[in-house]
């Protein structure tokens, strides 16, 4: 094209703009269940700051959030609650399964736990660890941001 845009004008596609907005202001829903919840809180706290990615507000209501970090072990009694909270989140929504217990049932391969939260909700990112340190969780979150920006996860 012969015309050049002036310096204070940004040109992009609507899709890319939408993806950029979604990544940079993702609000997590607080679904902290067990030990991983403490590490999730530590990730949001001052030392490993999630606020630099715009994510320090953990919305209490699932209707106002777009990311659900399932942090902890999901028991048989909690599984319907988990599904209900997931269903209450508006699109686009993503799920990070944090920790070994959420991803696969962890060290508790028994009657009481759902062996992997992906039997109940669709999961986008699995973060291993028992519990995963804040750095691992942040790596998981940033990987999710990356995938959304590149368009690999279109939700």
Partner 1 sequence: MTDEPKILDVWVAGTEEPELAPTDEGAQEISVDESEHRLDEQFGRVVEDDYVFDDDADVDERMILNMGPQHPSTHGVLRLQIELEGETIRRTKPIIGYLHTGMEKTGEQLNFSQGGTNVTRMDYLAPFHNELAYSLAVERLLGIDVPPRAAAIRVLLTELNRVSSHLVALATNGMDIGAISMMIYGFRDREQILAFFEKTSGLRMNHNFIRPGGVAADLPPGWKDDVAEILAGLPRRLQQYDDLLENNPIWMARTKGVGVISAEEATAYGITGPTLRSTGVDWDIRKAMPYSGIEQYEFEVALGENGDVYDRYRIRMDEIAESLKIIEQVMDTMPKGDYRVDDRKVTPPPRARIDESMEALIHHFKLFTEGYKVPAGETYVAVESPRGELGCYLVSDGEARPYRMHTRAPSFYNLQALPIAMADSLMADTVATIASLDPVMGDVDR
Partner 2 sequence: MTDETRSELEEAVPEEAVVERPLPENQVLRDLFARFEDVEWVDSLGQDVAQVPNQRWLEFGSAAKAAGFEVCADVTAVDWMRQRPDRFEVVANLLSMQHRLRLRMITTAPRLEPTVASLVPIWPGANFPEREAYDMFGVVFEGHPDLTRILMPDEWEGHPLRKDFGVGSVPVQFKESHKVN
Least distance (Å) between residue 70 CB and partner 2 = 18
Alpha-carbon torsion (62, 64, 66, 70), positive or negative: negative
Least distance (Å) between residue 136 CB and partner 2 = 21
The helix (run of H) or strand (run of E) holding residue 98 is strand 94-98
Q: Contact between 72 and partner 1 (CB under 8 A)?
A: yes
- If one counts every other C-beta atom within 10 angstroms of the C-beta of residue 57, the result is 15
Q: Which does 40 bind (CB under 5 to 8 A by kind): partner 1, partner 2, none?
A: none
DSSP result, 105-148: -TT--STTB-S-GGGTS--SEEE-SSSPPHHHHHHHHHHHHHHH
Query: Binding partner 1 by CB under 8 A: which of 23, 26, 33, 69?
Result: 33
Q: Contact between 58 and partner 1 (CB under 8 A)?
A: yes
Q: Are 128 and 103 in contact (CB under 8 A)?
A: yes
Number of residues that bind partner 1 (CB under 8 A): 34
> How far is the C-alpha of 24 from the C-alpha of 120, rounded, in Å?
27
Least distance (Å) between residue 100 CB and partner 2 = 12
Stretch that binds partner 1, among 2-10, 89-97, 108-116, 146-154 (CB under 8 A): 108-116
**Site residues (vs partner 2, CB under 8 A):** 76-77, 104-105, 109-112, 115
């Amino acid at each position: 094209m012969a015309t050049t845009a002036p310096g204070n004008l940004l040109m992009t596609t609507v899709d890319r703009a939408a993806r950029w907005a979604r990544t940079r202001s993702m609000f997590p829903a607080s679904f902290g269940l067990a030990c991983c919840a403490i590490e999730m809180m530590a990730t949001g706290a001052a030392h490993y700051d999630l606020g630099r990615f715009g994510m320090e507000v953990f919305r209490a209501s699932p209707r106002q959030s777009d990311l659900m970090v399932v942090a902890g072990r999901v028991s048989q009694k909690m599984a319907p609650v988990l599904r209900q909270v997931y269903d209450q989140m508006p699109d686009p929504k993503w799920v990070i399964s944090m920790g070994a217990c959420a991803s696969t049932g962890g060290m508790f391969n028994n009657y009481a736990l759902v062996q992997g939260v992906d039997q109940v909700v669709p999961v986008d990112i699995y973060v291993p660890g028992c519990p995963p340190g804040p750095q691992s969780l942040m790596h998981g979150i940033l990987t999710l941001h990356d995938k959304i920006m590149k368009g690999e996860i279109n939700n």
